[in-house]
Amino acid sequence: MHQYRNIPTRHPRQGFSLIELMIVIAIIAVLSAVAVPRYQDYVTRARWSVNLSQLEPLKLAIAECLQQEGGLPGACDTATKLGLADLPTPQHAASAASLASSGSDSLRITLDGTAAAGGCRVTLTASTSDDTLHWQLANAAQGAEPACTRRHTGVGS
């Protein structure tokens, strides 16, 4: 009679151990802690990019008006003077853009963003020199919002 030896058979492991799962969860948590704030900044800048691009027709109307009026900002500081029914309200703006002349050599467009756009205020200042129109953009916080920087709006330094 033959004797059979009891050879232990090794069963392959089924699934992952608890420590392996905990390590994977910790890695995902660290990666998301870094990625989510960066993604939020990206989304906020994208909203401001949309806002600023939707002001381009207004900037063009201002340029045409200044050319027709001999570069006098006071002659181009309302929607009516620009030949527009209303000033534009960009998609991520809290209200319509405001337009005012500041002095005899510049016009200012002010736009307040929604809370989703960081609650920032961006000011576009048009000035003329040597028969050339120059736009300068700056940003500032409005209300209780934190300071607005280039990271929030893509504007400024």
Task: Give residue 131's pLDDT band: very low, low, confident or very high (50, 70, 90).
Answer: confident
**∠ CA 24-27-33 to the nearest 5 degrees?**
140
**Is pLDDT at 83 greater than 70 in this prediction?**
yes
- Tell me the pTM: 0.73
In order of 19, 54, 69, 113, the CA distances from 141 in angstroms are 46, 21, 34, 10
Helices and strands (H and E) in the chain: how many: 3, 4
User: Is the distance from CB of 87 to CB of 99 less than 8 angstroms?
Assistant: yes
Average pLDDT for 101-107? 78
As a whole number, the mean pLDDT across the chain is: 85
Q: What is the band of 2 on the pLDDT scale with cuts at 50, 70, 90?
A: low
Nearest 5 degrees, angle CA 8-CA 10-CA 12? Answer: 165
CA 150 to chain CA centroid, nearest Å = 9
Among positive and negative, which fits the CA dihedral 13, 17, 20, 24?
positive
